[in-house]
Structure 1
């Protein structure tokens, strides 16, 4: 059975930068820019900061006729970068079976408030917003835009969606359903989602502080992250392999609608599954990109599991630079994890000051060098969904 899948392209757009390299560079410099949302307004006081993608980041890879919603636009920008990185022309790619699997949660579904307001008032609103929504399925939009001819799926599984999309795309390749697969996540900031997290009282009024003693909750963000996975037989001699997908694990503990299991039961099972698939041990892992939302319960449970299963192995949370991008988080964080492996340097976990002395494991608060070839990217979601991928950098097989 095929286990290790080559990764020949990476793409990312988020508040940290318009592409992979600029995002990683700004993170290594310790830069972050949370601010009140510009694209929608609420009456929350104080105003809750978010990590919004500047509009000029979206222009380069979108044709003028791209009449789709923002989540799909973000997905197209990240997909374009990943496809450029593989070294194949679009003509070549269109002769192959290239699948598209994208995770999302918001997925542009809740940004038509004015349409529904008019409808409920007995008016007959113009159908443009609904038609735009119907043609904005993220995976279908990407596949159509790049004329890709493999299987297509948009996966919605809360905040593990992007990671689960990578796992599903890997299963396509192992089953011989496609030659290559674009996989990851995309999500946009939305007023409805923003208000929902505020109502749960887990949105912080300050920049997010994962694993800090006085952490107040998360900041929402938006963006997209994509990996181009391949079947080993399709990789050409001399083609640059940017890394390998070694393992994927997923498990659900169904403990609570929004809170993680206090013992991290599902996360432990997901870790065991991924390690078995990757044929590696905990001590083989160089570092972990934790889910690290800055919420009291999530950070407590995740710290406990990491302390017990990966004692002494450094971990970080990249959400301090991107915010919590929901369905996009697994894709963005997998890309940043692999890019850090290849750069030989991992951005510090920002905001963890003062650290929570009651946690059994704490993130690295300084940028540090990578001393191994494997890393984990974790996603913990509402509903008790727990997923992770094990990535290998440096082109080793």
Structure 2
């Protein structure tokens, strides 16, 4: 069926407005988690967040004309997708072809403007709120389709924190089955009162920078980001094109245990990693590095560790880059896939931050220092609420 290759990447997060800026922060061990400057929430002054350093007004500068009802979620996606398209050297004609697909993901969508829409509704204006049509999680995808004139299959995933990993998986299957020649896949989410209040109700937000896989972890930090990856089959790529990596394998399974937790035996995480290895035709010992889901919550870090211990006779080096960006929800799978691609492209490992003491039950220690390291296969894990667990495997090209 031909190899599926990465020919373009675009990214904006709390640690950089471009892929290059993100890598600079990762290699320097510089976190973007801290006090929010643009978020309007009563928690903005008391909890740390992985906030993008651009204001919504600054992000709007990418728009050549006004689009009604555009949200911060949309603008973050626009920023990242614009970089990915430019990086892959896709022309307007390329984007308009029926063989070019856009598969995006989001959990927040237009919910970042819930308060504004509510105020508009109470104002009793005859036209209603311009943000009503932007409220769904698919609105950002439709905005991108319209903005860039995408001519092929367009779809949106909302499987919580595994959303954009599943978007990449779906995009790969479109290529494998001849339903697309180019796929742009990824995800976007902005910080929003809706999700902050929801996660706070679950009592899993930390009042300090998160500490993935540490015995004294207190919970996660919410973040915002947009990340997109251009995928193409090897036989359609011109020799002059840059190829960052190969998407070698993928797996998805549902833990079917609890709305927001994985089981103690970690069946979902174990099975999706196992499935990714099977589709890639690899053995556990072939994996050189894992970008772990690593949310720094009590449940996730322990069960992910259990799953790794079940699958690997010797757990490979791993880390959680959520200690840099916070948990970016629907964007997390794509963001961390890009970090995995950078691992391979530059042959380097980015450490987990804030780690001190292993979890007593599992005893695993993540990578703690940046280093150059030979890498052939990198696994990226994304586990969502409802037990939706996904793993991607990338290979050096």
Fold shared, TM-score > 0.5 on shorter chain: yes
Deviation of 1:175 (Å): 1.5
Residue pair 1:278, 1:390 contacting (<8 A) in 2 also:
yes
Secondary structure of the 1:108 match is helix
Provide the secondary structure at the position in 2 that maps to 1:227: strand
Pair 128,95 (structure 1): closer, same or farther in 2 beyond 3 Å = closer
Measure how far apart 1:124 and its partner are.
4.3
* C-alpha displacement of 1:110: 4.5
For 2:90 and 2:113, the matched residues in 1 are separated by 36
Q: State the partner residue of 1:35.
A: 34
- Do residues 65 (structure 1) and 66 (structure 2) align? yes
Q: Size of the alignment, in residue pairs? A: 392
- When the two structures are superposed, what TM-score results if normalisation uses the length of structure 1? 0.93
Contact 1:20 1:339 in 2 (8 A): no
Q: CA RMSD in A?
A: 2.1
Aligned residue for 1:166? 168
State the alpha-carbon separation in 2 of the partners of residues 230 and 180 from structure 1: 5
Query: 1:127-138 alignment to 2 at 5 Å?
Result: 127-133=129-135, 137-138=139-140
Q: What pairs with 1:174-323 in structure 2 (closer than 5 Å)?
A: 174-310=176-312, 311-323=314-326
Q: 1:44 to 1:222 in 2, by over 3 A?
A: closer
Q: Secondary structure at the match of 1:224?
A: strand
The CA deviation at 1:114 is 3.7
Is residue 357 of structure 2 the alignment partner of residue 354 of structure 1?
Answer: yes
Aligned to 1:391: 394
1:358: Cα distance to partner?
Answer: 3.6
- Do the aligned partners of 1:341 and 1:370 also contact (CA within 8 Å) in 2? no
Conserved? CA contact 1:287–1:313, under 8 Å: yes
User: What is the alpha-carbon distance in structure 2 between the residues aligned to residue 152 and residue 217 of structure 1?
Assistant: 35
Question: Does the 8 Å contact 2:112/2:191 carry over to 1?
Answer: no
On the 8 A contact 1:286/1:370 being kept in 2, the answer is no
Aligned position for 1:145: 147
Partner of 2:15 in structure 1? 16
Give the corresponding residue for 1:53: 52
Query: After TM superposition, what 4+ stretches of structure 1 lie above 6 angstroms from structure 2?
Result: none
- In 2, Cα distance between the equivalents of 1:215 and 1:237? 47
- Secondary structure of 2:141's aligned partner: helix
1:375 equivalent in alignment to 2:378: yes
Aligned to 2:333, what secondary structure does the other structure show? helix
In structure 1, C-alpha distance between the alignment counterparts of 2:41 and 2:112, rounded to whole Å: 15
Which stretch shifts more, 61-70 or 360-369?
61-70
User: Which runs of 5 or more residues in structure 2 are unaligned?
Assistant: none
Give the conservation status (yes or no) of the 8 Å contact 2:107–2:330.
yes
> 5+ residue gaps in structure 1?
none
Match of 1:11, SS state, is strand
Alpha-carbon offset, residue 135 of structure 1:
11
Query: Hey, what's the Cα distance between the residues in 1 that align with 2:248 and 2:304?
Result: 22
Say whether the 8 Å CA contact 1:6–1:241 is kept in structure 2: yes
The whole-number CA distance in structure 2 between the counterparts of 1:45 and 1:289 is: 28
| Cα deviation digits, residues 140-191 of structure 1 (max 9, x gap) | 2222211221100011111100100001111111111111010011111001
State the shift of 1:36 in Å: 3.3
Change in Cα spacing, 1:173 to 1:359, as seen in structure 2 (3 Å) is: same
Give the superposition deviation at 1:355: 3.5
CA distance in 2, matches of 1:66, 1:22: 28
Deviations along 1:13-54, whole A, 9 cap, x unmatched?
100101111101111101113223333444459711111112
Separation in 1, partners of 2:135, 2:41: 23
Q: Distance in 2 between matches of 1:383 and 1:236?
A: 41
Secondary structure of 2:103's match? Answer: strand
In 2: Cα distance, 1:52 partner to 1:42 partner? 13
